[in-house]
Amino acid sequence: MSEFLSQILFLLQRLTWLSVIDLSLVTLIFFAILLVVRDTQAVTLLRGVVLLIILISLMTTLVSLPAFSWLIKNALPALLLAIPVIFAPEIRRGLEKLGRAGGTTLFSQKVPTSDGSLQLTIKAVVTACARLSARQHGALIILQRGDSLRDYVQTGVLLNARVTAELLMQIFYPNTPLHDGAVIIAENLIVSGSCVMPLSASGILNRTPDRQMGLRHRAALGISEASDAVAVVVSEETGSISIAHGGRMIRRLDSERLENILTAFYRPEESAEQSTNWVKRLLRIPTAKPQED
């Protein structure tokens, strides 16, 4: 014990401000990596890689295995090249978040509301969701914000129509040509219908009651993870209304609360910090155990 303490004291005596900065940068890098892969399937893979590295290190240092050591030494460069391929989705998602944060501040988008078009759009979405919920007709409505959804728009049928509750209800009426997929709304227009959205890769779905969610909810979470868009979902099974943003979802909303949340995302008179804090508090509200969509 005394030898251990003497070694720690020796290290502290050699510690300088430059060493502190060096250690802080390394810690920050590892923290950023863990933050990017948090709540994803890559966490399990990363855990396996770390355990494999520890096991190999013990075998090559405690036991003399020349052939095994030669194999590991020559295979290590290939393994390092494979890491970007294995973690490509997580790396891409992290770079997208970094670019989004550097380009614009979250919730700082200014949306013109002088002509009342935005309020009419929100009203139409809320009204349509309430009516679809009462009829238990499934729906997925994506509202574009700062990030362009052009790639997803091209997967559907172009409409470029004015947003009305009646049109949204008609699109999501069961067995109609456009009901299967998402509607994308941008600049107060229904740009496209029957769009294909990316499914969520969040590991939370594998270990929480949210794993019971259907494809619409998974697609809503997926597009909210890939962009800053707001996704509104109506469950076909229960008729409940949900909203997703930033990889989080609030379940079982009523019309009034849905309208308040959507308005908060686009309210220009609020500062970015106030909007961020307000919406984050809403997104942290615990939700009841969902029943499948």
* 77 and 136 share one domain: no
Strand partners of residue 142:
184, 231
288 within a domain of the structure (yes/no)? no
* 96 and 213 share one domain: no
Instruction: State the helix-helix crossing angle for 88-103 and 215-226, rounded to 10 degrees.
Output: 60
Query: What's the number of domains the chain is made of?
Result: 2
- Predicted structure pTM score: 0.62
Last-in-domain residue among 39, 71, 103: 103
* 75 and 166 share one domain: no
Token duo for residue 55: 């096991």
Query: Residue 210 belongs to what domain range?
Result: 117-283
Closest CA to 56 of 43, 71, 46, 42: 71
Residue pair 191/158 in contact by the 8 Å Cβ criterion: yes
Last-in-domain residue among 70, 103, 136: 103
* 130 and 256 share one domain: yes
Strand partners of residue 184:
142, 192
H runs (alpha helix) in 87-159:
88-103, 117-135, 150-153
252 within a domain of the structure (yes/no)? yes
* 272 and 178 share one domain: yes
Last-in-domain residue among 103, 128, 162: 103
* 40 and 129 share one domain: no
- pLDDT tens series, the chain, 293 aa: 677 677 777 777 777 888 888 888 888 887 877 776 665 556 666 677 777 777 777 777 777 777 777 777 777 777 777 767 766 666 666 666 666 555 544 334 444 444 468 889 999 999 999 999 999 999 999 999 888 888 899 999 999 999 999 999 999 999 898 888 999 999 899 999 999 998 886 655 555 555 556 888 889 988 988 888 999 999 988 889 999 988 888 888 998 999 999 988 876 544 344 444 545 555 554 444 444 44
* 59 and 153 share one domain: no
